[in-house]
C-alpha cells in the first residue's frame, strides 16, 4: 500500500466525539442561522408519499421498484458511467460515497487463490439445504462464537445463510411484520434499509431522530437513548402505526458509533419486540480502546427468541461482491421462515465452500488479515481526518467502520435539504462522490458521509477535489466569522 502523506495541523479540540480545530464553530453556525429549527423527535416513513411513475408496462409493485432505482441510485449510476481509473480515466469520478473496503485486495487475492479454495465436489453443484450447506453453517457458528465472544457455543441449527444482508433485511421484514407495520430505527441510518424492508414486505420505518446537540457532560452527538425510543414509539402509536420491532446497527452506519453493553441491554429491555441487530462492521473496529461488544456476547439476553443478529463478509472482509450474509436467531420459526426465502436468495455451493474455508482459517485471520486491515484503516482514517482538520471542518471522530460523518453546514447558504443536495451535486460535478445526510434521514441539513477505506492515491485526489469545491463554495456563501482561523478556545458542540 502506498504511504499516505502526513498532514501537519494543530491538535484538534475534541468534544465528546465531535472533532473540530477552530474555536466555537458550531455555536457560531447556530448564531448566524437563526432560522434553524430543532429537529422533530420522530418520523413515520412512507416511501409512497414521494412516489411517481407512469410506466404502463409495470404493476404497482413494479412501478415502486423502478421508482426506488430511479430515485436512490443517481450518484452510483453516474459514478459507474465515469469511474476513475489511474491510467484509462484519470479525470473520472472518485467514489468516497460507497462504503466498501478497498484496502486489502492483495491479502484477499492471495488467500482466495490458494488450492483449498478451488475444490469442486458433486454436492457443491447440486441443490443444497436452502438454509446453507451444513458444513458452512457449522463454520459460521464456530466463527461467530469466537469473534462475538458468546458465553456458550452458538448452534449451527440457528444459522441461516443468504446472499447478503440486503436479502436478510427483506426476508426478516417479510416474515416478522404484516403489511403496513413498522420497525423503529435510529436516524441517521443506512438509508437502503428503507428499500430492503419495503419492496417485499411493504414494511415501514419509524425514524428515531438523533441530533448533534450535546445536552450535558455525559452525552455525545447523535446519541440514542431509551427516552428517544419511547417518544418515537408513542408517536407512531398515536398515528395508528403498529411497531413490530427495532433495528440497531452496531457499529453504526453512518455515525461509526459503538453501543456499550449497558446501552445494548437497555435497548433490548425497552423493545419488548423483535430486535434486528446488524453487526456487519463488527471486525472493522480499528481503535482497540473502543472495546466493541457483540450483542451475542451478553449474558442472558432479555428476549433471545426475539433477538436476531446479522453479519456478512462484505465489510469486514472487503468482499461486497461475494454476496454472503448470515442470520443467527434462536427462534426456530423465524429461521425456518427465512430459510424458505433462501430459495430465491441462496449462494452457489462453490461460494459456500470458499466462505467456509476462509472463516475456519483462524491463523490467517488473526495473524495476517485483521492486524493489517486495522492498520490500513487507521492510517487512511488519520489521513482524511488530518485533511478535514486542515480545512477547519468538524466531524464525528470514531474508530469503527469505513466512514467519517462530516459537518458541512457552514457551506450551505440556507439550512435546507435543497441546498445540501446542491452541494452534493457540486461535489459530483467536480468528480468526487459523497453521500448526503438526507439519504440517511438525518434531520439536520449539511451532514455528509465520507468513506476513507480506499487507496492512498485515490484519497489524495478525492480530498483535493473536495477542497476545491469547499473553497469555492465558501466564497459564495455567507462570509465566515473572522475568528475561524483563531486557536481553539475550548470544548463545544
The x, y and z cell numbers of residue 203, run together, are 414494511
pLDDT classification of 480: cutoffs 50, 70, 90: very low
CATH of span 67-105+366-474: 3.90.1150.10
The x, y and z cell numbers of residue 95, run together, are 467514489
Q: Which of 67-71, 374-378, 416-420 has the lowest mean pLDDT?
A: 67-71
Please, are residues 396 and 404 in contact by the beta-carbon 8 Å criterion?
A: yes
Conformation bin of residue 222: beta by default, left when phi > 0, alpha when psi is -120 to 50: left
CATH topology of domain 126-361: 3.40.640
- Structure-model confidence comparison of residues 373 and 1, the more confident one: 373
What's the rounded Cα separation, in Å, for the pair 215 and 222?
A: 11
pLDDT digits (tens, 9 = 90+) for 147-185: 999 999 999 999 999 999 999 999 999 999 999 999 999
Q: What is the mean pLDDT of residues 280-294?
A: 95
Say if residue 316's pLDDT is above 70. Answer: yes
Please, are residues 419 and 478 in contact by the beta-carbon 8 Å criterion?
A: no
pLDDT for 69 equals: 83
pLDDT classification of 50: cutoffs 50, 70, 90: low
pLDDT for 73 equals: 72
Q: Sort strands 182-187 and 18-20 into parallel, antiparallel or unpaired.
A: unpaired
In percent, the amount of the chain with pLDDT more than 70 equals: 87
pLDDT classification of 35: cutoffs 50, 70, 90: very low
Q: Which of 46-60, 275-289, 412-426 has the lowest mean pLDDT?
A: 46-60
CB neighbour burial string for 29-50, b if at least 16 within 10 angstroms, e if fewer:
beeebeebeebebbbbbebeee
pLDDT for 23 equals: 30
- Structure-model confidence comparison of residues 217 and 360, the more confident one: 360
What DSSP state is assigned to residue 472? H
Nearest to 169 by CA among 101, 292, 238, 253: 253
What's the rounded Cα separation, in Å, for the pair 317 and 369?
A: 9
Domain boundary assignment for the chain:
67-105+366-474, 126-361
Helix, strand counts (H, E) of the chain: 16, 16
pLDDT digits (tens, 9 = 90+) for 107-135: 999 999 999 999 899 999 999 899 999 99
Say if residue 440's pLDDT is above 80. Answer: yes
- Structure-model confidence comparison of residues 276 and 15, the more confident one: 276
Please, are residues 327 and 169 in contact by the beta-carbon 8 Å criterion?
A: no
Residues in CB range of 166: below 8 A, 6 or more apart: 192, 196, 325
pLDDT classification of 48: cutoffs 50, 70, 90: confident
N- to C-terminal Cα separation, the chain: 36
Q: Which of 71-85, 143-157, 242-256 has the lowest mean pLDDT?
A: 71-85
The x, y and z cell numbers of residue 491, run together, are 470544548
pTM for this model (two decimals): 0.89
Please, are residues 313 and 284 in contact by the beta-carbon 8 Å criterion?
A: no
Rg (CA), the chain: 23
What DSSP state is assigned to residue 366? I
Residues in CB range of 54: below 8 A, 6 or more apart: none
Amino acid at each position: 500500500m502506498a504511504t499516505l502523506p502526513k498532514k501537519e495541523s494543530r491538535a484538534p479540540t475534541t468534544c465528546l466525539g465531535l472533532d473540530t480545530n477552530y474555536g466555537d464553530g458550531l455555536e457560531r453556525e447556530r448564531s448566524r442561522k437563526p432560522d434553524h429549527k430543532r429537529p422533530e423527535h420522530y418520523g413515520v416513513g412512507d416511501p409512497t408519499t414521494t412516489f411517481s411513475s407512469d410506466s404502463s408496462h409495470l404493476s404497482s409493485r413494479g412501478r415502486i421498484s423502478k421508482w426506488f432505482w430511479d430515485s436512490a441510485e443517481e450518484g452510483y449510476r453516474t459514478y459507474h458511467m465515469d469511474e476513475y481509473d489511474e491510467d484509462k480515466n484519470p479525470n473520472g469520478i472518485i467514489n468516497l460515497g460507497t462504503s466498501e473496503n478497498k484496502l486489502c485486495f492483495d491479502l484477499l487475492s492471495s488467500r482466495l487463490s490458494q488450492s483449498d479454495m478451488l475444490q469442486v465436489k458433486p454436492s457443491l453443484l447440486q441443490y443444497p439445504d436452502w438454509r446453507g450447506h451444513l458444513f458452512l453453517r457449522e463454520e459460521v457458528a464456530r466463527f461467530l462464537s469466537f469473534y462475538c465472544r458468546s458465553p456458550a457455543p452458538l448452534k449451527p441449527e440457528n444459522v441461516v445463510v443468504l446472499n447478503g444482508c440486503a436479502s436478510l433485511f427483506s426476508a426478516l421484514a417479510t416474515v416478522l411484520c404484516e403489511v403496513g407495520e413498522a420497525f423503529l430505527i435510529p436516524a441517521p441510518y443506512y438509508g437502503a434499509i428503507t428499500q430492503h424492508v419495503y419492496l417485499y414486505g411493504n414494511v415501514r420505518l419509524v425514524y428515531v431522530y438523533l441530533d448533534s446537540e450535546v445536552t450535558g457532560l455525559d452525552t455525545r452527538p447523535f446519541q440514542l437513548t431509551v427516552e428517544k425510543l419511547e417518544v418515537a414509539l408513542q408517536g407512531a402509536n398515536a398515528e395508528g402505526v403498529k411497531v413490530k420491532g427495532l433495528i440497531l446497527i452496531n457499529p453504526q452506519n453512518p455515525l461509526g458509533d459503538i453501543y456499550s453493553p449497558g446501552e445494548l441491554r437497555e435497548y433490548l429491555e425497552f423493545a419488548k419486540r423483535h430486535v434486528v441487530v446488524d453487526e456487519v462492521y463488527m471486525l472493522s473496529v480499528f481503535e482497540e480502546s473502543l472495546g466493541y461488544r457483540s450483542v451475542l456476547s451478553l449474558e442472558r439476553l432479555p428476549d433471545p427468541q426475539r433477538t436476531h443478529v446479522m453479519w456478512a463478509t462484505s465489510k469486514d472482509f472487503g468482499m461486497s461482491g461475494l454476496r454472503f450474509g448470515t442470520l443467527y436467531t434462536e427462534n426456530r420459526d423465524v429461521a425456518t421462515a427465512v430459510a424458505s426465502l433462501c430459495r430465491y436468495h441462496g449462494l452457489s455451493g462453490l461460494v459456500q465452500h470458499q466462505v467456509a474455508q476462509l472463516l475456519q482459517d483462524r491463523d490467517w485471520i488473526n495473524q495476517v488479515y485483521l492486524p493489517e486491515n486495522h492498520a490500513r484503516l487507521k492510517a487512511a482514517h488519520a489521513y482524511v481526518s488530518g485533511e478535514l482538520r486542515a480545512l477547519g471542518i468538524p466531524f464525528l471522530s470514531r474508530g469503527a467502520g469505513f466512514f467519517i460523518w462530516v459537518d458541512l453546514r457552514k457551506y450551505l447558504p440556507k439550512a435546507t435539504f435543497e441546498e445540501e443536495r446542491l452541494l452534493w451535486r457540486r461535489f459530483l460535478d467536480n468528480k468526487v462522490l459523497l453521500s448526503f445526510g438526507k439519504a440517511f434521514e438525518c434531520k439536520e441539513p449539511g451532514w455528509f458521509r465520507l468513506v476513507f477505506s480506499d487507496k492512498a492515491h485515490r484519497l489524495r485526489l478525492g480530498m483535493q477535489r473536495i477542497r476545491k469545491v469547499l473553497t469555492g463554495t465558501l466564497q459564495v456563501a455567507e462570509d465566515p466569522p473572522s475568528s475561524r482561523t483563531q486557536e481553539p478556545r475550548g470544548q463545544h458542540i
